[in-house]
């Protein structure tokens, strides 16, 4: 169940960050409301994962996955460009998250 909460936190954070971009500096109502609501969901779900996984590990997975997903959303839906250094950096982030999940004894399996 912990990983379901973590995945929900990551997805909610990606929606919130995308909504933040669409809110245009909190000048558009519904994207602004979505930003606040989804960040609240993200932090609540993140807090639930802290019951079983160390904070540093959770944060590494949450932020790493969020960075990669936000980059993908920006590229796919917001017409933002990613150059090769950005793509290579995101690949290294994915590799880091995999190393944590596959090899760290700090992660509850």
Contact indicator for 6, 101 with CB cutoff of 8 Å: no
In a domain, 108, yes or no: no
Which residues, 6 or more positions from 86, have their beta carbon under 8 angstroms from its beta carbon?
71
What are residue 25's phi and psi, to 5 degrees? Answer: 70, 35
Task: Report phi then psi at 70, rounded to 5.
Answer: -65, -40
Residue 75 within any structural domain of the chain:
yes
* pLDDT band, very low/low/confident/very high, at 107 (cuts 50, 70, 90): low
54 is in which domain, residue-wise? 2-103
Residue 6's pLDDT is what?
96
pLDDT in tens, 7-66: 999 999 999 999 999 999 999 999 999 999 999 999 999 999 999 988 888 988 998 999
Of 23, 97, 95, the closest CA to residue 107 belongs to 97
Domain count, the chain: 1
The reported pTM is: 0.86
Instruction: Answer whether residue 109 is part of any domain.
Output: no
Q: Give the per-residue pLDDT at 69.
A: 95
The band of 104, judged by pLDDT with boundaries at 50, 70 and 90, is confident
Between CA 108 and CA 87 the distance in angstroms is 29
């Amino acid at each position: 169940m912990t990983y379901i909460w973590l995945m929900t936190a990551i997805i909610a954070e990606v929606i919130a960050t995308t909504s933040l971009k669409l809110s245009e500096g909190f000048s558009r109502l519904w994207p602004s409301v979505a930003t606040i609501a989804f960040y609240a969901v993200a932090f609540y779900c993140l807090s639930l994962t802290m019951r079983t996984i160390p904070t540093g590990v959770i944060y590494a997975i949450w932020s790493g996955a969020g960075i990669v997903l936000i980059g993908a959303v920006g590229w796919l839906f917001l017409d933002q460009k990613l150059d090769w250094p950005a793509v290579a950096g995101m690949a290294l982030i994915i590799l880091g998250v995999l190393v944590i999940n596959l090899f760290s004894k700090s992660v509850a399996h």
